Every structure is written in C-alpha cells, then in structure tokens.
A and B are shown apart, each in its own frame.
Chain A
Amino acid sequence: MTNEVLRVDFDLLDRQIVDLDGHPVGKVDDVEFGTTADGRPFVAAILVGHHALGERIGGRLGRWMAAVARRLHTTGDPQPLRIPFERVAEIGSAIRLDVRHELLNTPALELWLRDNVIGRIPGASDAGQ
C-alpha cells in the first residue's frame, strides 16, 4: 500500500485472497463491518461465498446465483466463509492471510465435487505438475 488509507470497494471487494503460501482461498465477496463506540463502522471481517456474492450483485442474476449457491450447499445453511480482518497480513495485488488454507473451512461445493466427482477419477491424488 502506498498510503495508510484503505478503500473498501477498491482495495478489498473483488480482490483475490491467498493464504500464507499463496494458495487461492477465494475472492472478497463482501465485507462485514462492526461499529465503534462512537457509531462509526470499522472493517471486521471479509466474507467469501457464492451466496454472499449473489446477494451483493443483486437483481435477477444475483438472486439466481444465490439460489444456486443455496441449492448446491449440501449442509443446509449457506453461511459465507468469514475471515476476521485480523487474519489479513498484507493487502497488495492480492490479500494475503497469515494462516494456511487448511485451517479455513473448505467450501461445500469444492468438498462435494472432490468426494463425488474429481476424487473418483484415477490419478486425482497424483502430485501436481
């Protein structure tokens, strides 16, 4: 960052989130604010999830995306992945966290496809190339 000011829309929303080692975690789909004692909002957490994204986009397309996300969600309630802002180590061309992605909840869609589609194909666990 070139200065102290953080722009919620420009610097946070829609930016790629990566973990400690640079693995993609998701995009910033929305930002959650807390409120200070004097009533000002402060950045409390970044939210990741297709449902949150759909709600933010709004309109017919956004509602449709949110509905699909809800449908694809196998465990019921599609809560977004909530990453407390304290876990953000650096904001640059990507938002780098100070944790490894294994410690965060894996999105339901990824888990489902891993267990039911990709994981069943021979060679799915072969080392990366």
Chain B
Amino acid sequence: MKRFLAVTLGILTAIGGFVDIGDLVANSETGARFGMRLAWVVVVGVIGICLYAEMSGRVAAVSGRPVFDLVRERLGARVALANLAGSYLVTLLTLSAEIGGVALAIELATSVHYLLWVPIAAFVLWVVLWKVKFEPMERVFGLAGLALVVFVVALIALDPPWAQLGQQVTSPVPPATEDWGTYGFFAVALFAAAMTPYEVFFFSSGGVEEKWTSRDLAISRVNVFVGFPLGGVLSLAVMGCAAVVYEPLQAQVDTLGQTALPVAMALGKLGLVVVILGFFAATFGAALETGLSAGYTVAQYFGWQWGKLVRPRQAARFHTVVLISVLLGVALLLTTADPIAITEYSLVFSAVALPLTYLPILIVANDRDYLGDEVNSPLTNVLGVTYLVIILVAAIAAVPLMILTGMGS
C-alpha cells in the first residue's frame, strides 16, 4: 500500500511539475495564433522528455552519476566548460522567469504590481531552498500544480467546436494569417518548453540524492511514462483554451492574465481562484527546481559536494551558487525586463544548449561499464538517435528563426 502510494504521489508530482512558466506562455501564445495546428509539437516534446528523463534516471540509479557529472566526464573539461556556461545561463534565465511568474500570479490575485512581489517571492523561495526537506517540497508544489487540471475542465465547459479543433490538429501547416517562419519559431519554442534541460538536471540529481538503485527503476519509469504525458495533456488544454477563445478574434496573448482568462470565462471566479493557485504552485515549484539546478550544474562540473542531504556548511560552494543565482534572477527582473520576454528568450537558448547535454547521456546509457545489463534496448536507441537529430535541428534553427521572425512577432 505504501509503495502504491509512493508511485501515485510520484505520478501526481510529475504531472504538476511538468508545467512551468515556459509551458504556460508558449502554449497559450501558440494556441491564440495557430489554434491547435502546433499540437503535434507538444506530443513530440513529451516523448522526448520521457526518453531523456528515463535514460538519465536509469544512469543515475545504476551508476550513481547525475547528468552534469557525465557531461564533463564524456565531453572533456573544455567542451563541458562551454556547455556549463550555456546551461547555467539558460537555467538562470529560466529561474528568473519562474520568479517573475510567481510574482505575476500573486499580482493576479492581489492587483498589486508584480515588481513589488519579486523580492518577497525570491526571499521565500530561498528560505524554502535552505530549510525545507526535499520530498515535502517536491510533493507540495507538484500536487498544488495539479490545480492546472482546471484548464481541462474549462476546455470542456467552453464546449469548443471539437471537429474544427480536430481538423487543426491533423493539418500541421500555418494558418493564413501566419507564415512558415513564425510557425517554425513557435514549434521550436514549444519543443523547448517540453524538453527543458533543468528538468533532467533536477530529476537525475534528485535520484542520486534519494539513493536510487536498480530496484527503484520501475518506480522511476512509471513516474516518467505516466506523469509527463499527463502533464503534456495539461499543456494541450492550455493551448486548447487559448485556441478557442483567442484564435477566432485574432488576439495575441502576451500576459499571464490572458492565459487565465478562458478559465474565468468558462468557470467564473472559482475557476480563476483555482487557476491562480495552479500558476503559483507550478512556477514556484519550477523556481525551486531551477534554483537547485543552477547549483547542480556548477557543483557537478567541478566535482564539489552538492545537494540537500548534507548540512549546508558542508556544501558551502553549492549553496553559495544557489544563493547568487537567486540574487541574479531577481536583479534581472528588477531591471523591469518583462518576465514573459525572459521566458521566451530562455526557451530559445534552452533549445540551443540541449544537444551537448543530451548526447553524453545517450552515449553513457549504452555503456556496459556503467550500466551492465541495464543499457539501452535497440528500440530506445532508435528513438534516442532520432531525437538526437530532432534536438540538433531545433538547436540549429532556434537562433536564425528568432532573428528572422523578430521573436515570432
């Protein structure tokens, strides 16, 4: 029974934990502009993150090595240092965006300008990172993030023209109002929102900290293969709500309030309360994950003691990096940079940084010296190499598409 409960909780946590500010922004923007014509990208992204998280979870459980440790071990000190610089910057941008998301969610609830909430949110974030135990932290925010299921309820309550949405899903071409450039740009952004590297840094480091062994592989797999796809369903519901409400009006979504509005239209004030709670939990949970991941990448590159299992004074360098990262994230927001714009940039650069983080895991997941008989199956390898190609294409296309389309505008 206890085991069953652990699995259920893990799945629920994965669902709530999958959606963050990047998914909320990218999915509702694309829904408003492209209807459901880019829904397939979410599916491709969810399969990708399942594959990547399963491999890195398996490597962490069997060999005890988290992702960024292996990045340096396989790519060498120099290439890995370039990767560290890129991955750290992307994680920092994402952290900043999530803190902004928390503040925007509180603004929605209080009507007090978000910039006033940024320092408070960041301080509470840091206290939680400093004091609270790993598991309750993950559970509380993962479960509260499930409030975003309200988007599924709202979509059904809006009683959309299902046939028309279905037709958009099966016609993956830009609508008359858009061109292939913006279509490609938003495809890359959506893919990056689903396959964010920090999720995998966090997942594999958490596995090492919780001292997973080969026996925990089954639980890890169930969490990944059930939790992430259900999280993908939430993403699609966010997209669907925006598609139903905004696409016919040709309206653009560029605030978090607009993302929430379809729920309020369908379900009234109560729906709005639930959706704001969901925004808060999802962004706060993701801020915790990105804050820790910023520390993980640096500490694991240099081989420092890291993590929350030891007293903070025994991992002074790790905790210093986490603290500085939160401060830098706040500083970026206090320049009055728009959190939604920060989110968009973080998605583009996250697509660029992904290949060099994915490749070492794919290779080590095939290494018998590390994994013994738990190496990739032939099917996993076919998928793994296919995704390497997809990830490479997205990485190469990201910056040119960003420049050509002017961030998709």
Give chain A's interface residues, CB within 8 Å of chain B. 1-2, 13-17, 22-27, 29, 48, 50, 53, 56-57, 61-62, 92-94, 109-111, 113-114, 117-119, 121, 123-129
- CB of B297 to closest CB in A, whole Å: 14
B residues 265-316 in Cβ contact with A at 8 Å: 301-306, 308-314, 316
Give chain B's interface residues, CB within 8 Å of chain A.
63-65, 69, 72-73, 76-78, 80-81, 130-134, 301-306, 308-314, 316-317, 319-320, 323, 368-370
Contacts A23-B305, A26-B302, A129-B134 given; indicate if A53 touches B77 (C-beta within 8 A).
yes
Contact B306 A24 (CB under 8 A): yes
Task: Give the residues in chain B near A129, CB-CB below 8 Å.
Answer: 132-134, 308-309
When chains A and B are docked, how far (Å) is the Cα of A56 from the Cα of B301?
15
Contacting pair A124 B312 (CB below 8 A):
yes
- Are B304 and A113 neighbours in the complex by a CB distance under 8 Å? no
Residue of A23, A24, A123 most packed against chain B (CB within 10 A) = A24
Bound: A92/B69 CA distance, A = 14
B309 touches A16 (CB 8 A): no
Q: Let me know if A121 and B130 touch, CB within 8 A.
A: yes
B contacts with A: majority SS:
helix
A27 and B305 CA atoms in complex are apart in Å by: 11
Nearest opposing residue in chain A for B135, CB measure: A129
From B77, B303, B308, give the contact of A57 (CB < 8 A).
Answer: B77
Residues of A within 8 A of B319 (CB): 118
Whether A57 contacts B304 in the complex (CB less than 8 A), given A118-B320, A123-B130, A126-B311, comes out as no
The smallest beta-carbon distance between A38 and chain B, in angstroms, is 31
Contact of B320 with A113 in the complex, beta carbons under 8 Å: yes
Q: In whole angstroms, what is the CA distance A15 to B176 when docked? A: 54
Residue of B nearest to A113 (CB): B316
Q: Within 8 Å CB of B65, what residues of A? A: 16, 93-94
Contact B72 A14 (CB under 8 A): yes
**What is the minimal beta-carbon distance from B78 to any residue of chain A, in angstroms?**
5
- Known A113-B316, A113-B317, A118-B319; judge A125-B311 contact (CB<8 A): yes
CB-nearest residue of chain A to B131? A123
A94-B304 in contact (CB<8A)? no
